[in-house]
């Protein structure tokens, strides 16, 4: 057998990783069905599950060299399709279902901005950053709902972040971090656990302000993005991964 020919096990693993990525689209469908039924809690859990899949599938694909085993499947394109559903379409429908926008047409802003953002050739830079706000509408939607912010404030935040998609600031790509990768991984897992617990046990955990404390992670993410992405520095980047 040709040594360059992938083994059956590697092919099966590669297909399994692609299926893992594609399952995010099924979660998006589940979330939309839940929203049609007025079940915001189930929809929010679907969004978190999809976020977890997205944070893990790229690492798995690189570890098992899926692109080499199945070159006929464009994993990045598959990932972008699933991400647009889970990071733009589902969160905007969630915001509308939760009554967090003053009018439905404001939901067009993040959808259009994200369509532009995903289509950019440099949406992900060569040094592994997102360029512009990386359409984390799912995270925003969850907090606007969990913190019960007013429709006016929620709409203003949606408008502001829609503009931020076009501002060429660098945001870290968590799964490709060269610094603080383990810290960020642990923090992200703790964050997901806290938000899931707050959704499942709202009455029990409300006195402990779990949702409010969980905001520490998004603040941490913005902080390391500002630092490593040189938001406020003119000198040579501190973050300079090897080529």
Q: What is the DSSP string of 131-163?
A: ES----HHHHHHHHHHTT--HHHHHHHHHHHHH
Mean pLDDT, residues 186-207 taken together: 94
Paired tokens of 94:
């969630």
* pLDDT value of residue 158: 97
* Residue 243 pLDDT > 80: no
Task: Determine phi and psi for 205, rounding to 5 degrees.
Answer: -95, -10
The larger pLDDT score, comparing residue 234 to residue 200, is at 200
Task: Choose from 75-79, 118-122, 123-127 the range with maximum mean pLDDT.
Answer: 75-79
- Of 6-10, 118-122, 195-199, the range with the lowest mean pLDDT is 118-122
Q: Specify the DSSP element, H or E, that contains 48.
A: helix 40-63
Task: Choose from 56-60, 79-83, 154-158 the range with maximum mean pLDDT.
Answer: 154-158
When pLDDT is cut at 50, 70 and 90, the band that residue 234 belongs to is low
When pLDDT is cut at 50, 70 and 90, the band that residue 125 belongs to is confident
Which overall architecture, per CATH, does domain 8-228 show? Answer: Up-down Bundle (1.20)
- The radius of gyration of the chain's CA atoms, rounded to the nearest angstrom, is 19
When pLDDT is cut at 50, 70 and 90, the band that residue 241 belongs to is very low
Alpha carbons 3 and 162: distance in angstroms, whole number: 49
Mean pLDDT, residues 137-150 taken together: 96
When pLDDT is cut at 50, 70 and 90, the band that residue 53 belongs to is very high
Q: Is the pTM of this model over 0.75?
A: yes
When pLDDT is cut at 50, 70 and 90, the band that residue 4 belongs to is low
Grouping H, G, I as helix, E, B as strand and the rest as coil, residue 13 is helix
C-alpha of 81 from chain center:
13
């Amino acid at each position: 057998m040709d040594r360059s020919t992938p083994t059956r096990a590697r092919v099966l693993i590669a297909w399994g990783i692609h299926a893992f990525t594609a399952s995010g689209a099924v979660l998006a469908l589940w979330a939309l069905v839940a929203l049609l039924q007025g079940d915001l809690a189930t929809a929010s859990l679907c969004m978190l599950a999809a976020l977890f899949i997205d944070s893990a599938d790229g690492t798995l694909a690189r570890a098992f060299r899926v692109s080499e085993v199945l070159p006929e499947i464009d994993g990045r394109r598959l990932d972008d399709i699933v991400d647009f559903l889970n990071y733009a379409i589902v969160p905007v429908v969630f915001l509308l279902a939760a009554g967090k926008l003053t009018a439905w047409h404001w939901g067009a802003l993040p959808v259009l901005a994200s369509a532009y953002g995903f289509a950019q050739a440099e949406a992900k830079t060569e040094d592994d950053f997102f360029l512009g706000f990386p359409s984390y509408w799912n995270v925003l939607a969850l907090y606007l709902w969990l913190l019960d912010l007013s429709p006016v404030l929620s709409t203003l935040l949606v408008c502001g972040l829609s503009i931020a998609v076009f501002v060429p600031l660098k945001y870290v790509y968590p799964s490709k971090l060269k610094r603080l990768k383990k810290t960020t991984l642990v923090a992200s897992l703790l964050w997901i656990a806290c938000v899931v617990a707050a959704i499942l046990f709202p009455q029990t955990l409300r006195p402990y302000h779990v949702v409010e404390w969980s905001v520490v992670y998004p603040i941490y993410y913005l902080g390391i993005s500002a630092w490593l992405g040189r938001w406020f520095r003119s000198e040579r980047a501190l973050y300079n991964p090897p080529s």
